[in-house]
Chains A and B, each alone.
Chain A
Amino acid sequence: MDTFFILLINGLADSALIFLMAAGLSIILGMMGILNFAHGTMFLWGGYTSVWVFAQTGSFWLGLLAAVAVGGLMGLIFERLFIRPVYGRVTAQILITLGLMIVFTDLARLLWGATALPALRPSLLDGMVVILGIRIVEYRLFLIGVGLAVAVGIHLLINRTRIGMVMRAGVQSPEMVRALGIDIAKYFSFVFAGGAALAALGGALYVPLVGSVWSGMGMDNQVLAFIVVVIGGMGSFVGTAMGSLFIGLTGALVAWFFPPAAVVVNVLLMALVLVFKPTGLFGWEGKSR
């Protein structure tokens, strides 16, 4: 029973991190139709930025803020300079974003070196708590809290604001949104930057969990985010949340009971969903021009 409870907490914490990375990717893909293979770069730079700022200032929280700012700025620059010129051209998007991934991964390596850097937790979150007689890592509870808060925030943004209305409409038909007199390109910039900032936050929160930041972590986690988006459904906030939960919890269980299958299981789940419901568990077929 103790083991299951700990696995549940671990799985929920992993789900929260996956959600932070996948949420932005899902909206970017669903609304803008952009296959953003540079998304993992923001995750990576979020990790490195937070570690560096923490080391310089002694403040974990400043590190988080800096990571979000850097991620958002990178997203804004990427979208304006590299993505906007190739809207609607899928092959060009894939090549450009893959190129950005490679260049900015190498840039990170140039700045911070090829070896992994240690990533510390703040002393406030570096202990254990006891729940129902079971010792739980404090930092994992913190991650679950952040994940929930971000999920609630995104839910409110999508369902209670004009920006959210435009995003929900844009997922179905960016063309019709334009025909209503809305400059959807401005919203695209916001969505892209927002998604990038979330990914960077994910990276900043991830590295203290695993204890280090290294240059390959962007690509590794990006694959997982894509799997979640496929399983949950493109452009579906609920789908991304459910997909993240599914993958996070499954991953935690499989990693405990049968570690060699940990990676394969995610890909198998994605394949199954693609076969039986290609639009994803919460996706839908109604996208038009």
Chain B
Amino acid sequence: MLRPVLNLEEVSSFIGPFHIVQGVSLAVYAGEAVVILGRNGAGKTTTLRTIMGLLPLKGGKIELGGTSLAGLPTHRIARYGLGYVPEDCVVFNMLTVEENLQLAMHVRDSETRGRLAYALDLFPDLKVAYRRFAANLSGGQRQMLAIARTLINDNKIILIDEPSKGLAPIIVDRVAEALIEVKKRSTLILVEQNFALACAVGDRYYILDSGKSVKSGIVRELELDEELQNKYLSVGA
């Protein structure tokens, strides 16, 4: 039986006194792109942050390749092979594009250099802006840099939180193309409000509602199920 690369069972976490994630279970298998969908406040971003150890796990299990991530500090979770692109795609403004990418390197060897070359081929804009400070990049370029950073290491899974947020439609299309290309090499977990982007990239989905995972399935089937979309993904009930 195929074992998931990442397994969450009844995960529970808080932001301050607020119990945001109240029972999220999901399994991610190697080579697939899983999209996490749901309304604002459903707990999607909180789930990703809990996986990365940025919020403490208060209940349930998180296992990466069979290893429990509970209680581990974020930097160790990242070294286990999780790449992370947060919601506001934090790239370091006082570093150049080159330095942002160098900072992300866990080891400096020929394989890392190979992955760097691949990332720059995928995002030619970054090649052009290589010595520019990240503060001077456009919104789309910043998102590309944040994604490129996760490709530098041999990450088992890449977690991406709302990559289309704040971007012009033409840039969203470019990001989607890039993610479809990245999916060929990496396992993805994508949180996304842009349904079209989620459907273009995703293989399977999980829907969160009020901090719990309530539905899961194949993205192609969700695309055709308007009733399910209206029930869990539309504005208001």
Q: Which A residues fall within an 8 A CB radius of B?
A: 162, 165-166, 168-169, 171-173, 175-184, 284, 286, 288-289
Contact = CB atoms under 8 A, between A and B. Distances in A.
B88 A181 contact: no
Contacts of A183: 73, 75
A188 B89 CA distance: 24
Given A179-B54, A179-B86, A168 B78 contact: no
A162 B93 CA distance: 16
B11 to A, nearest CB: 18
A37 to B, nearest CB: 27
B96 to A, nearest CB: 10
Is chain A's binding surface mostly helix, strand, loop or mixed? helix
B45 to A, nearest CB: 12
Interface string B57-92: 000000000000000011110110000101010101
B149 interface: yes
Contacts of A182: 75, 103
29 contacts: A165-B95, A165-B102, A168-B92, A168-B94, A168-B95, A172-B92, A172-B93, A172-B94, A173-B90, A176-B90, A176-B92, A178-B54, A178-B78, A179-B52, A179-B54, A179-B78, A179-B84, A180-B75, A180-B149, A181-B79, A181-B106, A181-B153, A182-B75, A182-B103, A184-B75, A286-B93, A286-B135, A288-B88, A288-B90
Interface of B: 52, 54, 73-76, 78-79, 84, 86, 88, 90, 92-95, 99, 102-104, 106, 135, 149, 153
A166 B93 contact: no
A47 to B, nearest CB: 33
Nearest to A284: B93
A180 B52 CA distance: 10
A177 B73 CA distance: 12
A173 B100 CA distance: 13
Given A178-B73, A179-B74, A172 B90 contact: yes
A289 B88 CA distance: 11
Nearest to B155: A181
Nearest to B102: A165
Given A172-B93, A180-B149, A166 B103 contact: yes
B86 A180 contact: no
A169 B134 CA distance: 11
Given A172-B90, A181-B75, A165 B99 contact: yes
A252 B54 CA distance: 48
